Structure 1
Amino acid sequence: MLKKKGSMIVSLAVLLVLSACGTNGQPSATQGAQATPQTTPNQETSATISGKLTFYTSQPEDDVTKLVAAFNKKYPDVKVENFRSGTEEVTAKIQAENQAGKVQADVLLLADAVTFEGLKKQNLLNSYKSPELSKIPKDFVDPDGMYAGTKVMATVLAINTQKVKTPPTSWKALTSSESKDTAIMPSPIYSGAAAYNVGVLTRTDGFGWDFFKGLKANNISVVKGNGAVLNAVAAGEKSYSMVVDYLVAREKAKGSSVDLIYPSEGVPVITEPIGIMKNTANEKAAKAFVDFVLSEDGQKLASGIGYTPIREGIPAPKGLKSISEFKVISSDISKLTEARDADKKQFTQIFGQ
């Protein structure tokens, strides 16, 4: 998905959130044949695509509902079942199912490329080069066709504007005396976005593990997911936070006393990739789902929900910046993949989770 280089700015090596656990039914699947890479448009019509499609995701429940409803308008004969939770918990479920002999998911839509790189190394993904990839920047597409980014989500500073009168401009605000006991962040043990942030920031000059030790010394609260973080700031329970941008923009649009800041040092970015499981039981429906998410209609839906689209030619929604408008902090994706478990262990040792 990304060019393997550790540039700190502009390279767009990036890679989604979220909050609260939920399950819609118990998915099941049987093994099918592995798809071969495909670059020509899918010639199947909606009338020929049917059956059950099992979808694992870390998207918020309301967003999942909207996505499935839009997909079903085009493919009414596909019954979509979904399981949603934080990316790290979804990944744990996949690993448990794989050990039991049968991964039940057909399609995955999870936080970041590091997650998909791990699954790719385990040979759990199916190569599919959707025709829609021609409109997706190559930096966000796995060259082997195992996954592709679906949106752009930056982790930013968020504040309660009733509590914080002077908006901060630096990540150092979270380790300053002004934010002592009043800051909050998501846990990398639950959130894929948070795990990605830990991996990137600890490998970035000016941050490292000392930054996280500073957060601990400042008594930052660590909760499960980004949704819980945003809720605490919106309610005035906390004043400062590290959280994904789109959640803050949504809440601000509702009139809540919150605002988001893209810090001057830059921001880590994830792209919530989508991919098909190797042993999908419904390959036609899985490919149709990927095509829809990456299509112009799918990307306009994402923008309407409040995400910055990844597809060229579709602007960011009100309240968010396009990726060309802010500085990106990135790191070598292969190193992040190799170090994720060790990073989470180190985080746990510091924060005692």
Structure 2
Amino acid sequence: MLLRPIRYLIYLLAALSLFASSSALAASGKLVLYTSQLPEDAERTIQAFSKHSPDIQVSWLRNGTSKVMSLLQEEIALGDPKPDVILIADSMNMQWLKQRGHLWAYTEAPVKGFPDSIVDPDWTYFGTKFITTLIAYHTSAAKPVAWSDLLRSPARDQIIMPNPRYSGGATIHLGTLSMAPDLGWSFFEKLANNGGIAVRGNGNAIKSVVQGDKQYAIVVDFLARNYKRKGAPIDYVFPREGVSAITEPIAILKTAKNKEAAMAFVDFILSDEGQQLVSLQGMIPAKNGISPPAGFPSISKIKVIPSNIPQILKIDDRNKERFADLFGG
């Protein structure tokens, strides 16, 4: 006698799932995106999405992760957060937003093929790619193979890196390496003693090497690859001790005014088409089965140092103060 009600329940759940999927596909109206992608990557992402979902008009703001988060925090304090979707460099800031109840759980997100480690267990944010921090070097300089090579005399006064106060990737890099048993704060102290300097962002750091002002830059991988492919006199290595990695997660705000359009945007970013775009932009896709860009191994072939995101978030202010004591800024 219970079979008929159970059957009806199954039909109802299937219908609701179909409705949810079709509503995302039929989404329309205005979508507001805040992102820390490079300007050209943000434009390319939005153009591809607009072809996929022409009835959605995307309004977007782009800046560095720290700037995006500062603006968003101001809007939240005023009770009027503007974005429907955020796509920023690191999961630490997503964790901050999640802990304060600002993210919406998208439990139907198409995450099949993505590593569990980059999908929030509560479905509030999803990693979209892997961006490692490595060593880029001028081709006239001695090739490094390890982080420790930056502590030797040939690299004295020739090292440049982004400041974690402005770069999400640099924040995770600092937090990860400073807790790594083989590196720790000793590495950063010796780096400062060897004349390492910090500048506002990854772009400024690598341009200094391209122009020959410095010989070594600690930067995100895709910038090094892209400059090399354009013929710049640089090359890059994944240091043997391992590298830090960020995943540029995406999330829907709980206050999103157009959740259907937001779901459609997340669906696109996590789709095969969206992940192929990641590769075309010179970054390592997070989804299994999507080839990395030429010149990069798959993430499974790279030694990645684990990042304790909750702990990095907890001590972030302390880390940045200690970094500033060593490198200024």
Match of 2:23 in 1: 44
Alignment of 1:188-199 (within 5 A): 188-199=164-175
Match of 1:94 among 69, 72, 75: 72
Tell me how far apart the structure 1 counterparts of residues 241 and 279 of structure 2 sit (CA, whole Å).
26
Cα displacement string for residues 52-80 of structure 1 (whole angstroms, at most 9, x for unaligned residues):
11111111000000000000001112111
**Distance 1:193-1:45 versus aligned 2 partners, 3 A rule:** closer
The aligned residue for residue 82 of structure 2 is 104
**What residue is the counterpart of 2:32 in the other structure?**
54
- Of the candidates 297, 313, 320, which is equivalent to residue 321 of structure 1? 297
Assess, with a 3 A threshold, how the Cα gap between structure 1 residues 72 and 259 changes in structure 2: closer, same or farther. same
1:223 aligns with 2:221: no
Give the structure with the larger helix fraction. Answer: 2
Contact 2:119 2:126 in 1 (8 A): yes
1:187–1:222 contact (8 Å) kept in structure 2: yes
1:273 aligns with 2:249: yes
How far has the Cα of 1:307 moved from its partner? 1.1
**Contact 2:33–2:83 at 8 Å: present in 1 too?**
yes
Match of 1:174 among 150, 157, 167: 150
User: Which protein, 1 or 2, shows the higher relative CO under an 8 Å CA cutoff with sep ≥ 6?
Assistant: 1
Percent identity over the alignment is 40
**Structure 1: distance between partners of 2:133 and 2:156:** 20
Trace 1:1-353 onto structure 2 (pairs within 5 A): 42-44=21-23, 46=25, 48-161=26-139, 163-164=140-141, 166-353=142-329
* C-alpha distance in 1 between matches for 2:83 and 2:109: 23
Provide, for residues 320-350 of structure 1, a one-character-per-residue CA deviation record: whole Å limited to 9, x for no partner. Answer: 1211111111132211121112211221222
Return the TM-score normalized by structure 2: 0.92
Give the aligned residue type for 2:158. T
Q: Secondary structure at the match of 1:43?
A: helix
Q: Is the 8 A contact 1:159 1:259 kept in 2?
A: yes
* 2:323 alignment partner AA: F
Which amino acid is the alignment partner of residue 43 of structure 1? S
Structure 1: gaps spanning 5 or more residues:
1-37
Match of 2:6 in 1: none
SS of aligned partner of 1:255: coil
- 1:255-305 deviation line (CA, Å, top 9, x unaligned): 111111001100001110000111001100000000000000100111111
Q: Distance in 2 between matches of 1:157 and 1:131?
A: 35
Secondary structure, counterpart of 2:257 in structure 1: coil
Normalised by the size of structure 1, how large is the TM-score? 0.86
Distance 2:211 2:270 in 1: 35
1:35 maps to what in 2?
none
The ranges of structure 1 where at least 4 consecutive aligned residues each deviate by more than 6 angstroms after the TM superposition are 38-41
For these two proteins, the number of residue pairs brought into alignment is 313
Higher mean alpha-carbon deviation, 136-145 vs 329-338, is at: 329-338
Q: Which consecutive residues of structure 2, in runs of 5 or more, have no partner in the other structure? A: 1-15
- Contact residue 130 and residue 291 of structure 1 kept, 8 A: no
CA contact (8 A) 2:196 2:327 kept: no
Using the alignment, how far apart are the partners of 2:301 and 2:218 within structure 1? 19
Answer whether contact 1:154 1:244 (CA < 8 A) is retained: yes
**Superposition RMSD in Å:** 1.5
- Distance between the aligned counterparts of 1:200 and 1:167, measured in 2? 24
